Amino acid sequence: MIACLRPLSALCLAGLLVACSSSPSSNLGELPRTPQASVEQMLQKAGTSQSEDAQLLRLSAADLAAKQGNTERAESILKQVDLQLLKPAQQIYASTLKAELALARNDAKAALQALAHPSLDRLGELPVEQQIRTQLARANALEKDGQLLAAARERVFIAPLLSGDEAQRNQEHIWSLVSNLPAEPAPVADDADLAGWLSLAQVAKTVGTLKQQQDAIDNWLAQHPNHPAAQQLPKALADLRALSSKPLEKIALLLPQEGQLASVSRALRDGFLAAHYQAQQAGEQPPQIQLYDSARLTSLDDFYRQAKADGVQLVIGPLEKNLVTQLGSRAELPITTLALNYADPSAKSPAQLFQFGLAAEDEAREVARRAWADGKRSAVALVPKGDWGDRVLDAFRQSWQAAGGNFLGAEHIDQPVDMAGQVALLLQVNGTSRRQDVDFIFLAATPQQAQQIKPTLAYQYAGDVPVYATSHLFSGSMSAAQYRDLDGIRFCETPWLLNADDPLRQQVDSQWPQAGGSMGRLYAMGVDAFRLAPRLDQLKTLPDSRVEGLSGNLSLNSAQRVERQLPWAQFSNGQVQRLPETNIE
């Protein structure tokens, strides 16, 4: 069977599939066959001949070696084939195989280069099987190259040619691609099927309750009854619709009411209850809250037995690290639990355990994301001495290098008197000059340490080096004079502290003034624990969905840990100036 697809070099889809001639034109050439022979037998038969038959045997041998998983052998054989001696059909076959081998070694650029061969203009004249193979290679190369929309476009285009399991796998892959596109701005597509996929992805990312999200999907289905996704929803959306819509009726809030964590616990509790009260004022029917004192626990098993007897459907807490670690080591939990701290990341936690906290590692990853979006590519770091600084540095370095950034070195700051020397060492200051390959400094520091950074950089001929910091340098209660000492530093921060006009924050501030300072982050976390409670299943079923919180933009990773993406601000002339958001494809 022969079918026509547009040339691979085209970026836009146009027209419908049109049947072509059932036999190739005379100068197109034949595709390699699959003889019943081994790689060695085919190569032996081809010998040193440069005839068309010998070239076809070498192509078949290379293809067989690739199918057997021997990519090095396949590439070695393919190098013996001179594309200039091949006819267009054979050039397409060889270019496709070359792209597949490049993808096997994770070289997307080489794969796309192979698929840019002029012969690909005649792909539509080849049998459907070859068209599918070539187009899938291109889709995979675009995906690995980070061109998600273009990869989705390729897969949407070939979807009508597929059937059975292959069609279903392709459809799930399309969904994975479009759902990983940034939510804003929404991409535009001329093709109706692709446009439908993109709008479905937008619907799935709608922030709201489970029922609101299910209603949004139902509305999409009513508007797109003939779309391929309407015929068979992607598995994630089908699972979402199958989730029980039974409302969450009773929550246990498990926090210590005395001891070292009592003040932290009070802020979390008050933020949680403030959000609960706000929901009541808005006419909602929020779950009933029952308080339990984790400081008086004698046994987690006894607590869960009591909570279950009390009709609890979800546990929020505990806060204590040792209790969360105990939960993380269990095979399963009797009740779904959102812990307000983190267990050991190396442990395999039970399926019923979710974890949420103000992790400094989230902010380190956020710095890497923002700096990369701002076009920075080479970084150095200044972090405090000790375990906390090591964890923050590791999180930044891993995220930065995973994005492709160049990490040039770090210094662990401690005593103020040593800072000038450490900065000089880090920036390789020599006389009146410094290294010029540093795009920015990653800074994790207290407000007092941060106030010394800018004058120290100026002293070390590096006053023009951008500084990206975590929220720890911002107390929310410093004077304009102190802010001027931080002039130019960019930092990530919770929406709670950057948006004093938020109605819930104003309500909380009026009752607990300390919520306007650094303690405000804990009140925000309490609010977000309340907002997360009914949406944990949503976040688990749709990993790309998010909850707009006051401690950050919240999502769930594969370990069921809530991760935060934070907004950005900059110190400017004694004021805190909010920075515009960025998007990364």
Q: How many CB atoms lie within 10 A of CB 226?
A: 9
Residue 276 sits in the same domain as residue 398 = no
- Percentage of the residues of the chain whose pLDDT score is greater than 90: 63
Q: Is residue 160 assigned to a domain?
A: no
Residue 322 sits in the same domain as residue 273 = yes
Residue 290 sits in the same domain as residue 324 = yes
- Given 328, 355, 382, which residue is the final one in a domain? 355
Q: Is residue 17 assigned to a domain?
A: no
* Residue 244's pLDDT band (cuts 50, 70, 90): low
- Given 80, 112, 146, which residue is the final one in a domain? 146
Residue 46 sits in the same domain as residue 124 = yes
User: How many domains would you assign to the chain?
Assistant: 4
Residue 217 sits in the same domain as residue 277 = no
Q: Is residue 166 assigned to a domain?
A: no
Structure confidence by residue, pLDDT tens digits, 40-63 = 999 999 898 888 889 899 999 999
Distance (Å, whole) CA 176 – CA 514: 43
Q: Is residue 51 assigned to a domain?
A: yes
Amino acid 187: pLDDT: 66
Residue 442 sits in the same domain as residue 572 = yes
Answer positive or negative: Cα dihedral of 303, 304, 309, 310: positive
Amino acid 207: pLDDT: 59
**Domain that includes residue 213, residue range:** 192-242
Residue 305 sits in the same domain as residue 259 = yes
Residue 377 sits in the same domain as residue 336 = no
Q: What angle do CA 567, 569, 572 make, to 5 degrees?
A: 170
Q: Is the pLDDT of residue 431 over 80?
A: no
Q: Largest Cα–Cα distance in the chain?
A: 89
Residue 348 sits in the same domain as residue 364 = no
Count of all residues that appear for the chain in the document: 585
Task: Give this prediction's pTM.
Answer: 0.71
CATH no. for residue 400?
3.40.50.2300
Candidate from 13-17, 298-302, 351-355, 456-460 with smallest mean pLDDT: 13-17
Structure confidence by residue, pLDDT tens digits, 389-419 = 999 999 999 999 999 999 999 999 887 667 8
Pairing, β 547-548 against β 553-556: antiparallel
Amino acid 7: pLDDT: 38
Residue 279 sits in the same domain as residue 329 = yes
